[in-house]
Structure 1
Amino acid sequence: MQSPRPTRSLVASSTNLSAMNRRSALLSLAALATVGLTAGASADDLSSEMILNDPAAPTGGNPRGDVTIVSFFDYNCPFCKRTVAPLKKVMRADGKVRLVYKDWPILSAASAYGAKLALAAKYQGKYEAAHDALMSVKGNGVTEKQMRAVVAAADLDMARVERDARAKDSEITTLLRRNNAQAEGLGLRGTPVFLIGQFLVASALDEAGFRQVIADTRKAS
Structure 2
Amino acid sequence: MGLGLIGVVAAGGAAVAYAAVDGKPAMPADRAAIELVVRDYILNHPEIIPEAIDRLKAKQIAAKIEEHRSELESPYKGAWEGAEHPRVTLVAFMDYACGYCRASLPDLARLVKDNPDLRIVYRELPIITNDSVGAAKVSLLAAETGKFMSFHRAMYEAGDVAPGAVIKAAERAGLDTGKAKAALKAPGADAQIIENVRLAQALGAEGTPLFVLGDEMFTGAVGYDALKAAVDKVRNKG
**How far apart, in 2, do the equivalents of 1:109 and 1:55 lie?**
22
TM-score in terms of structure 1 length: 0.73
Map 1:1-221; keep pairs closer than 5 Å.
11-12=58-59, 27-29=62-64, 32=67, 47-56=68-77, 58-138=79-159, 142-162=161-181, 165=183, 173-221=190-238
**SS of alignment partner, residue 111 of structure 2:** helix
Task: Say which one has the larger Rg.
Answer: 2
**Aligned amino acid, residue 94 of structure 2:** F
C-alpha contact (below 8 Å) 1:63/1:98 kept by paired residues? yes
Structure 1 residues 129 and 189, CA gap change in structure 2 (3 angstroms): same
**How far apart, in 2, do the equivalents of 1:197 and 1:48 lie?**
9
**Aligned amino acid, residue 112 of structure 2:** M
**How far apart, in 1, do the equivalents of 2:172 and 2:191 lie?**
27
Provide the identity percentage. 22
**SS of alignment partner, residue 107 of structure 1:** coil
User: Could you list the runs of 5+ residues in structure 2 that have no partner in the other structure?
Assistant: 1-53
**How far apart, in 1, do the equivalents of 2:89 and 2:170 lie?**
27
Q: Tell me whether 105-114 or 116-125 shows the greater mean CA deviation.
A: 116-125
Q: Tell me whether 129-138 or 177-186 shows the greater mean CA deviation.
A: 129-138
**How far apart, in 2, do the equivalents of 1:177 and 1:202 lie?**
20
RMSD of aligned alpha carbons: 2.8
**How far apart, in 2, do the equivalents of 1:90 and 1:123 lie?**
24
C-alpha contact (below 8 Å) 1:57/1:102 kept by paired residues? no
C-alpha contact (below 8 Å) 1:61/1:98 kept by paired residues? yes
**How far apart, in 1, do the equivalents of 2:178 and 2:206 lie?**
35
Q: How much does 1:57 deviate? A: 6.9
**How far apart, in 1, do the equivalents of 2:56 and 2:181 lie?**
41
C-alpha contact (below 8 Å) 1:9/1:31 kept by paired residues? no
C-alpha contact (below 8 Å) 1:10/1:28 kept by paired residues? no
**SS of alignment partner, residue 59 of structure 2:** strand
**Aligned amino acid, residue 228 of structure 2:** R
**SS of alignment partner, residue 190 of structure 1:** coil
1:1-52 Cα deviation digits (max 9, x unpaired)? xxxxxx9987317xxxxxxxxxxxx6234664xxxxxxxxxxxxxx321111
Q: Which has the higher contact order (CA 8 A, sep 6+)?
A: 1
Q: How many residues align?
A: 185
Structure 1 residues 179 and 188, CA gap change in structure 2 (3 angstroms): same
**Aligned amino acid, residue 59 of structure 2:** A
Q: Please state which structure has a larger fraction of its residues in helix.
A: 2
1:141-199 Cα deviation digits (max 9, x unpaired)? 64222222222223333234345x38xx69x7100000000001111010011001221
**Aligned amino acid, residue 226 of structure 2:** G
**SS of alignment partner, residue 136 of structure 1:** helix
User: Could you list the runs of 5+ residues in structure 1 that have no partner in the other structure?
Assistant: 1-6, 14-25, 33-46
C-alpha contact (below 8 Å) 1:58/1:101 kept by paired residues? yes
